[in-house]
Amino acid sequence: MNRGFDVAVVGAGIVGLGAAYAAVRRGQSVVVIERAPEALGATVRNFGHLCIGAQTGLAREYADASRPLWLRLARDAGFWLRESGTLVVARHADELALLEVASGAGGIELLDARELETRASVRPGVAVGGAWVMPDLQTDPRTAAAAIRAHLETLGVEFRSRTSVGAVETGRVHTTRGPIDAGLVVVAVNHDIDQLLPDLAEAVGVVRCGLDMLRVRGGAASVSAPLLTGWSLVRYGRFGALPEATVVRERLHAERPDLAALDLNQMYTQLPDGSMIVGDTHYKGVGIAPFQPEAAAELLLEEFEALFGAQPSVLERWQGVYASGPDDFLVAEPEPGVLALAATTGIGMTTGLGLAETALAPRLGVDAGSLIPEGIRP
């Protein structure tokens, strides 16, 4: 158990997998330590929506770095991923005005109501227009993480599952199966950073964000790409930071204080089997109670029916939990040779691969291989 590795990664979520991928491509010996038998956290409990074009600042840099990595991994690991872009339905003139301003920076194609209705089966008359955010991707998170892990194993990465980590220090990881020595230790445990590195978590203000999601059958309801609404626009940096977003936010909160109380991101993604992921609510705390109020699910379903004109039947319900902090990302070195990484907002799938790549590249050198798969549009 105690043979040495160049890099030891704690956590097999998307950031940990990204760190292992970045290291093994640079010829490093890598071990990934995961307390569960497989990824069971935020990496598999999300929309599978890689929302690149809605980001700004550092989040956009990491998202842009993630995109070619997702494309390359989908090709090499053989999981479902599509260059779908993202649709936005504007149901009010102020939402359309916000989209028009945001589109000035490029990468967004404005749609009239008829064009939007041909790409998403919203009820006639609901949309006043919309947009297509072009760089975005979609995958199935339940199959992508497992496929990436299997691919990393073929590249020589070792996985130690059902193994808990009690402490990390320079050059060593202490686990329930004995110590593991490594030149670089990467801690990628998402919200559990407060369990492994509590002083760091408290210093930067990391807490947990819980959310409620559903998977439904929606009858004839369908979307050709992940679908955002005005509630989504006021959350994402590219839109929410604009002055026009204030008008949208104030109207939505005045019209629907019940949805505002859920801190709603009303969006939808459709999986290859035709089912749709519906969500999501948000609530924060140091600890997240496991009890999901049925009223929140009822509101999500009512909004689905109001938008699509179809009554959904629930296939699954689940609670997600992810790290939340005052900044979008945690990148810290609490001890020499110990690197802590986390997306401390709800965009880990969008940015996690790029975050890991960007953080490890200066330490391990430049990847000699091209990051852009041949034959795939960048």
List the pLDDT tens digit at each of the 378 positions of the chain.
567 999 999 999 999 999 999 999 999 999 999 999 988 899 999 999 999 999 999 999 999 999 999 999 999 999 999 999 999 999 999 999 999 999 999 999 999 999 999 999 999 999 999 999 999 999 999 999 999 999 999 999 999 999 999 999 999 999 999 999 999 999 999 999 999 999 999 999 999 999 999 999 988 999 999 999 999 999 999 999 999 999 999 999 999 999 999 999 999 999 999 999 999 999 999 999 999 999 999 999 999 999 999 999 999 999 999 999 999 999 999 999 999 999 999 999 999 999 999 999 999 987 755 443 433 332
Closest CA to 271 of 131, 138, 145: 138
Q: Is residue 187 part of a domain?
A: yes
Closest CA to 145 of 217, 233, 218, 73: 73
Q: Is the peptide bond before 94 cis (omega within 30 degrees of 0)?
A: no
Q: Is residue 220 part of a domain?
A: yes
Q: Give the pTM.
A: 0.94
Q: Is residue 373 part of a domain?
A: no
- Could you tell me if 236 and 350 are in contact, meaning their C-beta atoms sit under 8 angstroms apart? no
Closest CA to 229 of 307, 298, 282: 307
Query: Residue 249 is part of a domain; what is its CATH number?
Result: 3.30.9.10
Number of domains in the chain: 2
Residues 172 and 225 in one domain: no
In angstroms, the CA 208 to CA 321 distance is: 6
Residues 215 and 200 in one domain: no
Residue-range definition of the domain harbouring residue 45: 5-79+140-205+326-364
